Structure 1
Amino acid sequence: MKLVYVFDAYCGWSHGFSPTLTEITRRHPDLPVEVVSGGLFTGARRVPIREFGYVQGANAKIAELTGAEFGPAYERLIADGSFVMDSEAAARGMAALRAAAPDRAAELAAALQRAFYVDGLSLSQAATYRTVAGRAGLPAEEAEAVAAAFTGPDAAAEAQADFRRAAGYGVQGFPTLLAVDGDRVTVLAVGHATAAAVERALGAA
């Protein structure tokens, strides 16, 4: 059995779920975790953040329920409403990070969200992925390779493959945590969930 974590790096609820995922992976170090980008803000939804009037209210709710941090640098980034959340770019970056350290994908997904929601770094910039890789302890040459891969064809192809895979699992909300055992797929959590709740669902699976 493995866990499949379908998230979007620009999804505040995914950011809020990071501690839960971290705790589950700590409790089950032998359980493989695959991270799949879901593609929340693509196509017609790739617009300035001001067009999503619910963002600030939603973030307050996420912080209240999960303790997630939304830092001052993030608040400054989105303050004038012109920032565009581009999930295709974020998925390319996640693919580049995942390729560099596949066994640390869950950790890197959380670090990527922290880079945006706490540090206010755009996930559409190659430099962000260099920073995330460096902070994760990857050697400088690997961090440079991650930044270069962000704009390459392999990462673009992987991003599209992720979107198809998320759709194939029938995922309609982010984050979604799945337990996959052969052809059997069990939904462990959608949106907000505590580690205890996930643990109960995992036991039932």
Structure 2
Amino acid sequence: MATTGERVGLTYVFDAYCAWCHGFAPSLRAFAEARADHVDLRVLSAGLYTGARALPVSAHPGLVRESVRIAELTGAHFGAGHRRTVAEGSTVMDSADAATGLEALLAQPGVDTLRTLEAMQHAWFVDGLSLSDPATYRVLADELGLSPLAVACSYAAPVTRARARAALRAVRRLSVESYPALLIATAGGNHHRLGGPLTRVEELTTAFDKYMHRVSAPLEGTCTS
């Protein structure tokens, strides 16, 4: 485990439209709470559905099958609103818009990062709300105790979309190809991945503690004071 007072940077690569991220949310929260004294969490939007992949849900016929499988494996809840939206088929999943919405929410004073991620996932995977609709962010702001007007203005601001694009570029530089991805920064500027979408909290904390013990242990044959 990290020594007392030592804080470690973790990067969580997440997409609000990623069903596996929805299934991973309880493990992430439990891990972050268990290691709250040692971890600083940065969230980057993955860009799962951008460019040519930003299409109506009807263009992704495997979504229902995927959600059923994820629910079975993780216990994640997929609500009636989500099922209706998928069945109707016209809503476009655009991860660039979702990334902009995330930046707009996280820019607000006093915001809780994990609660914000969970609220966005709930909006899509339970209520079936479009993450491209500005009205969705007013709803989320109200749920999170934030100013709906401030969030709406931030969502519409070019600087917020620029921050979202920067986050998407940062993910591409990390060369992460599957999500969710929880990454620990290494001394050399690289990243070590902790677990995967089905990794339970006990396994995450064990992997984190083992990694921190390994990197903090003195090398054999070196001098110690």
TM-score by length of 1: 0.93
Q: How does 1:16-165 map to 2 (within 5 A)?
A: 16-30=23-37, 31-101=39-109, 104-138=112-146, 142-165=147-170
**SS of corresponding position for 2:131:** coil
State the partner residue of 1:193. Answer: 199
Q: Percent of pairs identical after alignment?
A: 39
| Partners of 2:49 and 2:93 within 8 A in 1 | yes
| Partners of 2:105 and 2:111 within 8 A in 1 | no
Q: Measure, in 1, the Cα distance between the counterparts of 2:171 and 2:13.
A: 7
Q: Measure, in 2, the Cα distance between the counterparts of 1:20 and 1:67.
A: 11
Q: Measure, in 2, the Cα distance between the counterparts of 1:195 and 1:135.
A: 26
| Partners of 1:62 and 1:68 within 8 A in 2 | yes
Equivalent of 1:203, from 199, 202, 209?
A: 209
State the partner residue of 2:9. Answer: 2
The structure whose residues are more often helix, as a share, is: 1
Q: How does 1:160-171 map to 2 (within 5 A)?
A: 160-171=165-176
Equivalent residue pairs, number: 202
| Partners of 1:33 and 1:106 within 8 A in 2 | no
1:50-86 deviation line (CA, Å, top 9, x unaligned): 2212111100011011111110011111212222101
TM-score by length of 2: 0.85
CA RMSD, Structure 1 to Structure 2 (Å): 1.5
| Partners of 1:126 and 1:148 within 8 A in 2 | no
**SS of corresponding position for 2:43:** strand
Deviation at residue 41 of structure 1 after TM alignment: 0.3
Unpaired runs of 5+ residues, structure 1, are: none
Deviation at residue 99 of structure 1 after TM alignment: 0.9
Letter matched to residue 43 of structure 1:
G
Deviation at residue 29 of structure 1 after TM alignment: 1.7
Equivalent of 1:11, from 9, 13, 18?
A: 18
Return closer, same or farther for 1:67/1:86 CA change in 2, 3 Å cut-off. Answer: same
Question: Of the two, which has the highest radius of gyration?
Answer: 2
Deviation at residue 106 of structure 1 after TM alignment: 2.3
1:145-197 deviation line (CA, Å, top 9, x unaligned): 11221121111101111111111111111110111244242100233221112
